[in-house]
Chains A and B, each alone.
Chain A
Amino acid sequence: MKFDAALIVYYAGLLILIAAIAIMGVSLKKLTSIVKEKKLIWLLPVFAAAVLAVSLASHIYATFTMLPQLSVNINALSQAAVSQDASRLEPLKAAVASLKSGLVFLKGLSFTCFLLASAMLLASTSIYLRWISK
């Protein structure tokens, strides 16, 4: 397995961001008790952290499982194309297409999780700011 330094920096950044958002949830819980509100807005950052963890997991799966599979299949496909082996060519083409669409799906899922997490984070802090601005 090949480790890319830039990817490790990205994963570290994302992990620290998840930790920061989870601690923000804990802080909001304490702040909610200070203003004597009983609403569970502090759960939103906790869910945001969980959703970001899903995004990170999908990125790791795509990078370390699907991408190596894709490169193996592309190599096999080019060999099959050179040898004009029709019986191998079609299943390999289908496998490559399926892996490519899977990667696009995971990329979409990852960024949708990002968007969802950020929206939950903004909603929770905005609600709290409104409470203390009354």
Chain B
Amino acid sequence: MSDNLAQLLINAEAVASGILFWAGFLVFGFIARRYSVVFKRATFHTLLMTAPSGILLYALLMMIKSSPVIKDASTNMIIQDSAYGVLLISAVFCLAGIIKFNSLIDELLKYKEQK
């Protein structure tokens, strides 16, 4: 397999996985929203649904970095560093949202046991 084809496949995988991660977290946000509506409690579903946008942005930035459009090495470095920063921020918010929702599920389970 030529290097160009391998790089193209890797880029495609990076973008596809970014989109799938974003969709996976978004669907989890929808699940949290359902629980929010049913139990009338804050499930932080907005945080869960918006936080993964950074993962999508990370995939897009990595695709731009790998594209032949940008040839300047310093611009490439800035794009890569921004992508890493965005991934970190997004991951922190995703973790915060999931921990909050998880603690709410614990409360619901305790309530269910008491009933």
Residues 85-115 of chain B, each 1 if its beta carbon lies under 8 Å from chain A, else 0: 1011011101100110110011011001000
Show 11 residue pairs from A and B whose CB-CB distance is below 8 angstroms, ordered by the A residue.
A6-B80, A14-B91, A16-B91, A16-B92, A26-B102, A34-B105, A104-B3, A118-B21, A119-B20, A121-B21, A129-B27
A73 to B112, CA, bound (A): 64
Smallest CB–CB gap between B95 and chain A, Å? 4
Chain A residues within 8 Å of B, Cβ to Cβ: 6-7, 9-10, 12-14, 16-17, 19-20, 23-24, 26-27, 30-31, 33-34, 104, 107-108, 111-112, 114-115, 117-119, 121-122, 124-126, 128-129, 132
A27 to B3, CA, bound (A): 41
For B26, the closest partner residue in chain A by CB is A125
Size bracket of the B interface: 35 or more
Chain B residues within 8 Å of A, Cβ to Cβ: 3, 6, 9-10, 13-14, 16-21, 23-25, 27-28, 30-31, 34, 55, 77, 80-81, 84-85, 87-88, 90-92, 94-95, 98-99, 101-102, 105-106, 108-109, 112
A27 to B25, CA, bound (A): 13
Smallest CB–CB gap between B42 and chain A, Å? 16
